[in-house]
């Protein structure tokens, strides 16, 4: 662990016999609770043999830090925990508290199976179908079959409609998105009272101008026109808000939300509609 003017740099070793997605998420959530902490992530995924684990332990010894793991094999767990104890290094099995509590509640022993196998079951194909749907109906490209969407996201350009739809697709939700373009009417399917849930994405004008200018800069585009003109952008934002209020659509302010937070809010709206 080192300190400098930027903050604290700390090694985090993520050891998993699966894809490591759980550990990566836990690490992000953990570091978000500390100011000026810069995690140096060391990832060791699909670790399923003693020889692989020995190499991991050697690398951990070379860069002391926090060790977080999800290992189902009991011998491998003991091997890693013993090594960390000898090196006086903090080591935690991040899922143990939840698994232990669930096991006690259910009265069922854990199977110690490696997590997240990619099974070709109905849920898997549902996600693939939802992803295809999101890509086909991205940015208002196709109005065909909009009525079979679970949700339609409507918003001005650069309100994270596409990545939110993709994230929702990975949760098995058929999400389409329709952009609000000045002078271009929205498709009539959006206004169907018996149609899918329509969610309006709001954003502050100042935030939108900042995002759009950064977008143009990354593309080395010098011609901006009304796309980043302050007055024009404020009119876009105001027109969107008026439309959402007039139609009675639920809204989500994405000004300072992550994609995951926006998607979670959409899932909550879908759940509320289903009850």
**DSSP letter for each residue of 34-60:** STTEEEEEEEE-S--SHHHHHHHHHHH
Residue 112 lies in a domain: no
The CA-based dihedral angle spanning residues 111, 115, 120, 121, taken in that order and rounded to the nearest 10 degrees: 60
pLDDT in tens, 26-52: 998 888 888 888 888 899 988 999 999
Q: Are residues 72 and 151 in the same domain?
A: no
pLDDT at 239: 97
Say if residues 200 and 243 touch (Cβ distance below 8 Å): yes
* N-to-C CA span, the chain: 50
Q: Are residues 31 and 165 in the same domain?
A: no
Higher pLDDT, 129 or 121: 129
Q: Are residues 81 and 172 in the same domain?
A: no
Q: Are residues 45 and 136 in the same domain?
A: no
pLDDT at 2: 60
Q: Check residue 11 and give left, alpha or beta (phi > 0: left; psi -120 to 50: alpha).
A: beta
Is 4 a residue whose pLDDT tops 60?
A: no
End position of a domain, from candidates 55, 81, 106: 106
Was 161 annotated as part of a binding site?
yes
State how far the Cα of 203 lies from the Cα of 207, in Å rounded to an integer.
7
Q: Are residues 98 and 36 in the same domain?
A: yes
Q: Are residues 89 and 213 in the same domain?
A: no
End position of a domain, from candidates 52, 75, 106: 106
pLDDT at 121: 60
Q: Are residues 149 and 185 in the same domain?
A: yes
Was 155 annotated as part of a binding site?
yes
pLDDT in tens, 185-242: 999 999 998 899 999 999 999 999 999 988 888 877 777 688 889 999 999 999 999 9
State how far the Cα of 22 lies from the Cα of 97, in Å rounded to an integer.
14
Residue 234 lies in a domain: yes
End position of a domain, from candidates 106, 132, 147: 106
Q: What is the DSSP code string of the chain?
A: -EEETTEEEEEEEEEESS--HHHHHHHHHHHTTSTTEEEEEEEE-S--SHHHHHHHHHHHHHS--EEEEE---HHHHHHHHHHHHHTT--EEETTHHHHHHHHHHHT-----PPS-----SHHHHHHHHHHHHHHHTGGG---TTGGG-SEEEEEETTSSHHHHHHHHHTTT--EEEEEE-TT-PPPGGGG-TTS-EEEEEE--HHHHHHHHHHHHHHTT----GGGT-HHHHHHHHHHHHHHHHHHT--EEE-TT--HHHHHHHHHHHHHHHH-
pLDDT at 5: 55
Residue carrying structure tokens 């139609």: 247
Domain coverage including residue 240: 122-274
Q: How confident is the model at residue 84 (pLDDT cuts 50, 70, 90)?
A: very high
Residue 187 lies in a domain: yes
Was 156 annotated as part of a binding site?
yes
Find the farthest-apart pair of alpha carbons in the chain and give their distance in angstroms, rounded.
69
State how far the Cα of 157 lies from the Cα of 163, in Å rounded to an integer.
13
Was 160 annotated as part of a binding site?
yes
Q: Are residues 129 and 230 in the same domain?
A: yes
pLDDT at 274: 84
Q: Per-residue pLDDT averaged across 62-83, rounded?
A: 94
What CATH number has the domain bearing residue 228?
Answer: 3.40.50.300
Q: Per-residue pLDDT averaged across 116-120, rounded?
A: 50
Return mean pLDDT, the chain: 88
pLDDT in tens, 134-185: 988 888 877 778 999 999 999 999 999 999 999 999 888 999 999 999 999 9
Q: How confident is the model at residue 75 (pLDDT cuts 50, 70, 90)?
A: very high
- Distance between alpha carbon 226 and the CA centroid of its chain, in Å? 31
Q: Are residues 149 and 249 in the same domain?
A: yes
Q: Per-residue pLDDT averaged across 63-69, rounded?
A: 95
State how far the Cα of 20 lies from the Cα of 18, in Å rounded to an integer.
6
Q: Are residues 18 and 68 in the same domain?
A: yes
Residue 83 lies in a domain: yes
For a pLDDT cut of 90, what percent of the chain falls above it? 55
What CATH number has the domain bearing residue 22?
Answer: 3.40.50.2300
Give the total number of structural domains in the chain: 2
Residue 117 lies in a domain: no
Q: Are residues 85 and 151 in the same domain?
A: no
pLDDT at 163: 93
Burial of 117 (0-12, 13-18, 19+ CB in 10 A): exposed
Q: Per-residue pLDDT averaged across 50-65, rounded?
A: 94
Helices 161-169 and 122-136: crossing angle, nearest 10°? 160
Was 18 annotated as part of a binding site?
no
């Amino acid at each position: 662990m080192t300190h400098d003017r930027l903050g604290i740099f700390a090694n985090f070793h993520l050891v998993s016999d699966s894809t490591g997605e759980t550990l990566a998420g836990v690490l992000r959530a953990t570091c978000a609770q500390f100011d000026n902490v810069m995690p140096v992530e060391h990832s060791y995924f699909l670790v399923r043999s003693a020889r692989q684990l020995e190499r991991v332990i050697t690398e951990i010894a070379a860069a002391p830090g926090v060790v977080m793991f999800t290992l189902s094999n009991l011998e491998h767990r003991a091997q890693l925990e013993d090594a960390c104890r000898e090196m006086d290094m903090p080591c935690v099995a991040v899922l143990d508290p939840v698994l232990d509590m669930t096991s006690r509640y259910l009265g069922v022993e854990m199977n110690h199976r490696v997590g997240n196998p990619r099974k070709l079951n109905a849920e898997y194909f549902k996600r693939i179908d939802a992803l295809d749907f999101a890509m086909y109906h991205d940015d208002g490209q196709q109005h065909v079959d909009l009525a079979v969407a679970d949700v339609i996201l409507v918003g001005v350009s650069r309100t994270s409609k596409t990545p939110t739809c993709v994230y929702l697709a990975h949760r098995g939700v058929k999400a389409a998105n329709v952009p609000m373009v000045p002078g271009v009417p929205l498709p009539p399917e959006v206004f169907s009272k018996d149609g899918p849930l329509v969610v309006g994405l709001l954003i502050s004008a100042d935030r939108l101008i900042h995002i759009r200018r950064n977008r143009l800069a990354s593309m080395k585009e010098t011609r901006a026109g009304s796309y980043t003109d302050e007055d024009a952008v404020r009119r876009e934002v105001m027109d969107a808000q008026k439309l959402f209020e007039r139609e009675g659509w639920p809204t989500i302010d994405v000004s300072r939300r992550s994609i995951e937070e926006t998607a979670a809010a959409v899932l909550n709206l879908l759940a509320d509609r289903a009850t």
